[in-house]
Structure 1
């Protein structure tokens, strides 16, 4: 898995299929992941997180936990990474 350390390494204008293929073989560094939580053109938010509750199918949760274990990270951290990456792609698509 190739670790991405800057936004310049992320291709632009990818189709959903291309994005899925790209993110299947790449991951964001923790520094880039943390920096991605606040966009420069968005109003600054306080650095606090908010606890939420989300219902997932048991099978999906097990699959996420399995992937997280293979990456040596917590499953909630992995889910946050997935959400950040996907929201970033969606924001790029609508701009």
Structure 2
């Protein structure tokens, strides 16, 4: 027998908030890392400097994309929770009217 789907919109909202907090903390750490990389860059010259700079820029783009995706996931969590709750309430109202 299949099990019924059980969702708790409050928990989904809480998960979105937790994800946002973790993402914010990660962004802060990545900003500190970026500053440290810029400081470390001063010792690099010539071809090595160019390679270092290219790698640093790649890391920054990748980190920004990851953070943006985590923001999108948190937004999706919030939308899903709101939609589930609205659907559940509408169906409960329809059920109550039918009974």
Above 0.5 in TM-score? no
Structure number with the higher strand fraction is 1
Using the size of structure 1 for normalisation, the TM-score is 0.29
Using the size of structure 2 for normalisation, the TM-score is 0.29
Compare relative contact order (CA 8 Å, sep 6+) and give the higher one, 1 or 2.
2
Structure number with the higher helix fraction is 2
